[in-house]
Amino acid sequence: RLRRVAQVMGADFPENAIAIDAVRDGVHLAGHVSIPSFSRANALQQYAYVNGRPVRDKLIAGAIRGAFADVLPRDRHAVTVLFLTLDPAIVDVNVHPAKADVRFRDPGLVRGLIVGAIREALANAGIRAATSGAAGMMAAFRPGAASYAHAGPANGHRSYEAAYRASGFAGFDPARSPQRPLDMGLEGGGLEDTEPGNGGFGENDQVAFDAGPLHSADARAGQTEATETLLGMALGAARAQVHQNYIVAQTRDSLVIVDQHAAHERLVYEALKNALHARAVSSQMLLLPEIVDLPEEDAERLAFHSETLARFGLGIE
């Protein structure tokens, strides 16, 4: 099946895909989803099949989007091929004249299965970089390729060194680093060719970095220990900032690129969750209470969940 999927999705999809195989209450989900770094600008490469029938179902699309919500920006979409197998009696395939939509008897079960299976697979796969992106990046760094060092005011790009120094990591000079991987072809196109104010980096700007204080050997040793600790963490130690949007970090065996705005949203979200678990949401009594008429069954259900609603700041009498 994966070989056929590769013929449709492209030869690079299998290398950047995670297998899905899960069962819940008689509903079987199988297929493959892309890793977060292998995404598209639209959802056209999201395929779903219900009992072998191709469908374009909003519930399935929403479940895929929800499963990737924590690892993909809002404007990016995963590449997926999912196969749902279930009892035909619990799914209606006659909702749409073209048979493109389906209606599940228990939509919550299907959505929960898709979201849970994808999230578990992503967690087990860990952080991986898309092979297509890595190949393109390495090609751009090889001799003869377009060099950032020669990009001047005409296109607004900064040189290789300038991008790192301007990011705020003044202690790291890529030109002198023994870990510098490839020759960037800086001869004749160094920092002298760029002027401040045009997206470049001039000599006057360098003075602010060169004038930094010299740390003692003990202080440097402490920094080394702290860096080693960060390298062992999932997101690693920050090394640079790109375009004021992305943080480049290093772990012991990989490179991690973090969308700092998405990371900030996640931190705020986690802080709100922690605050909710630690204490109830603060609320204020209404001057005139809202009176809502409900059927007896709904009123009983609401009263049963009154304590939960109170934690969210909603008082019911």
Range scoring the smallest mean pLDDT among 125-139, 210-224, 235-249, 256-270 = 210-224
Q: In which order are the strands placed within the sheet that holds 53-55?
A: 17-24, 27-34, 80-85, 46-50, 53-55
Pair of tokens at residue 58:
């909003």
**CB-based contact 27:110 (threshold 8 Å):** yes
- Tokens for 240? 């640079």
Q: What is the pLDDT of residue 260?
A: 83
CATH fold of 2-125: Ribosomal Protein S5; domain 2 (3.30.230)
What mean pLDDT value characterizes the chain? 74
What integer pLDDT is reported at residue 100 of this predicted model? 74
Position 298 pLDDT exceeds 80: yes
What CA–CA distance (Å, rounded) separates 261 from 244?
Answer: 10
Cα separation, 109 vs 29, whole angstroms: 12
| pLDDT tier at 19, thresholds 50, 70, 90 | very high
Percent of the chain having pLDDT more than 70?
65
- Residue-wise pLDDT for 128-139, tens only, equals 666 665 565 556
Question: Residue 75 above 70 pLDDT?
Answer: yes
Task: Look at strands 27-34 and 80-85 and give their pairing.
Answer: antiparallel
Query: So where are the chain's domains?
Result: 2-125, 142-212, 229-279, 286-317
| CA dist list (Å): 94 to 47, 53, 196 | 19, 12, 65
